[in-house]
Structure 1
Amino acid sequence: MTHPDPEYPLSDLALARRLEAAEGSANAAFVASRARLQPEVGATWKEVAGTLVMFDGVGSPLTQTFGLGTLGEATDAALGEIEGFMHERGAEVFHEVSPMAGMPLLDVLASRGYRPVELTSVMHRPTTIPVPGAETQVRVRRVEPGEVDVWADTAARGWGETPELAEFMRAFGTITATAEGAVPFLAEVEGEPVATGALAMHGGVALLAGASTVPAARKQGAQRALLQARLRFAAEHGCDLAMMGAEPGSASQRNAERQGFRIAYTRIKWHLPPAEK
């Protein structure tokens, strides 16, 4: 009989609460950063019966909830308040829901007209186990306060094949790098910035995000070096777990699994279609 690795926590409701709280906290900080840098968007967030509710502008992927059914109760009153919060701002309603919330919640969402629209593999790994892979000459360092534009420009260059997306990512990167609690990192080769990564910490969990590598520097170990640096930083600051999200079956998920990540659960995004007029 095999036994679970003692360094990896079991996938249960307690783990889901830690992971959902970490991601929700990081996204709330992002929304607050958006509100500070772009007040015209009207970005704001609130907590409704334990669920974190984000408005980051109409159409933003961060305009949604986190923790419904795990951090917060999914009562009719709570759902009504959340839906009203979004509709007042002209936004549609989306919930990211862990399966650890249980089948009753899915029945409630279906009965209110929601439908599933997206899946995410929520992945985790201990911060202290080694990252597999060869050594690299890439140098990784934390970004200094005056280098936010450098970090955002480098992140955008990683999406340079699509100019419209690159411009979006540049603005997104500036907000990410200046959010409260965010720790951005830069990878360099011979002094030139080639890749980015960031983390945010909450409750002993480090959420990894902001991964981007300029096309000419890919397959040189930049993201592996960034992962090593961020895990070391997180462990030194009291985090025992790191987490990230990926599309199920994607190259990002496969790469993460090669780096020691395991799937904790597959999260479902639910959407409430607009009422027909």
Structure 2
Amino acid sequence: MIITKPAFVDRLEEAETNMLSSRLRAIETIDGNSLGVAIETFGQAYAFSAKRMPGPAFNTVRGLHKEEERQIGEIISFYEKKELEPQIQLVPGAAGSKVMQALCRQGFCQTGFHSVLAGRCSRQVEERHERIAIRTLKLEDYRLYGHIYTESFGMPAFFKESVATNNAVLHEERNWTFYLAEVEEEPAGVAALFTSGTIAVLAVCAVLARFRTQGVQQALIARRQADATAAGCTYICGQAGFATTSQRNMERSGLQTIYTKALWQRVS
């Protein structure tokens, strides 16, 4: 069992921030930054943006502490100049009431919660998943990755190529590993692992609808736990919507909820 302490929360947040920064810095190199990636810091806060990838995944503010209260106007201006609406993630104990009041004055309100889970790395017995085979992706596999990812999340088919490109650019990055899960030799799911010092991050997981409830996600978690252990990591963490299947699968795999983030957005 992990005892939650502010210093450990800071380490988990740093690993997640490093992951997003690594991803966007790589995407920035594609076609002369055709997707309009920009990253700015405001004190301890990071403002991530991707002009041509609207939505909260890449247009988000992380690490906002009480000390950044007076910089909230500048942060919002950073996004307004790009005609983007950010999602602001607030970590319990880090952002105080003045930060929330300042966000309210800018038209923001809390719109959701996100669970952050963590556990100690361990080599799980992957033989439990006898019908499921997992291997790392080859460079030629990223079109398949794009297909599984977009279909799993119900995204329009025309996103397949961009998803493939935006992940293939990370293929040679030493901190990233991508996985394909097959059920009886049929592609069923994909996942990624990012390592940041002694902390590994369950970066993404997508399972095709017809293969859900068959243990694919848990098998992908187990493989990533084993690889994180082999890479010298001490802890592994991940994020999930509160009380979702993803959260339950992480808990079944030995992770526990460490804290719940508040998600803030501006509503019209």
Cα 1:173/1:120, change in 2 over 3 Å:
farther
Q: 1:152 aligned to 2:140?
A: no
Cα 1:132/1:99, change in 2 over 3 Å:
farther
Q: Specify the alignment match of 1:16 in structure 2.
A: 9
- Asked if the contact 1:66–1:97 (Cα under 8 Å) also holds between the matched residues in 2, the reply is yes
Cα 1:244/1:136, change in 2 over 3 Å:
same
Equivalent of 2:104, from 110, 115, 125?
110
Q: Distance in 2 between matches of 1:111 and 1:18?
A: 30
SS in 2 for 1:28: helix
Q: Which runs of 5+ in 1 are unaligned?
A: none
Note the C-alpha offset of 1:186. Answer: 0.9
SS in 2 for 1:256: helix
SS in 2 for 1:40: coil
SS in 2 for 1:85: helix
Comparing 125-134 with 232-241, greater Cα deviation is found at 125-134
Q: Distance in 1 between matches of 2:72 and 2:125?
A: 41
Q: Specify the alignment match of 1:60 in structure 2.
A: 55
Encode CA deviations 1:167-194: one digit per residue, 9 max, x unaligned. 4366335413533432111112343322
Encode CA deviations 1:148-167: one digit per residue, 9 max, x unaligned. 222222333434xx462x54
Q: Distance in 2 between matches of 1:27 and 1:272?
A: 22
SS in 2 for 1:11: coil
SS in 1 for 2:41: strand
Q: Distance in 2 between matches of 1:208 and 1:265?
A: 16
Note the C-alpha offset of 1:256. Answer: 2.2
Q: Specify the alignment match of 2:163 in structure 1.
A: 172
Note the C-alpha offset of 1:100. Answer: 2.3
Q: Distance in 1 between matches of 2:204 and 2:234?
A: 20
Q: Which runs of 5+ in 2 are unaligned?
A: none
Please show how residues 210-249 of structure 1 align to structure 2 within 5 Å: 210-249=204-243
Q: Percentage identity across aligned positions?
A: 24
Which amino acid in 2 is paired with 1:254?
R
Comparing 219-228 with 83-92, greater Cα deviation is found at 219-228
Q: 1:47 aligned to 2:41?
A: yes
Note the C-alpha offset of 1:92. Answer: 2.0
SS in 2 for 1:193: strand
Q: Distance in 1 between matches of 2:127 and 2:133?
A: 16
Q: Specify the alignment match of 2:84 in structure 1.
A: 91
Q: Distance in 2 between matches of 1:211 and 1:170?
A: 18
Q: Distance in 2 between matches of 1:233 and 1:56?
A: 30
Note the C-alpha offset of 1:47. Answer: 2.1
Q: Distance in 1 between matches of 2:263 and 2:183?
A: 38
SS in 2 for 1:101: coil
Cα 1:163/1:236, change in 2 over 3 Å:
closer
Equivalent of 1:208, from 202, 210, 223?
202
Displacement over 4 Å in runs of 4+: 129-133
What is the TM-score when the length of structure 2 is the normalising length? 0.85
Cα root mean square deviation, aligned? 2.6
Encode CA deviations 1:21-76: one digit per residue, 9 max, x unaligned. 11111112222233233633311212221212100226322201111118xx4141
Which amino acid in 2 is paired with 1:36?
T
Note the C-alpha offset of 1:123. Answer: 1.1
Cα 1:217/1:49, change in 2 over 3 Å:
same
- Asked if the contact 2:176–2:194 (Cα under 8 Å) also holds between the matched residues in 1, the reply is yes
SS in 2 for 1:196: strand
What is the TM-score when the length of structure 1 is the normalising length? 0.82
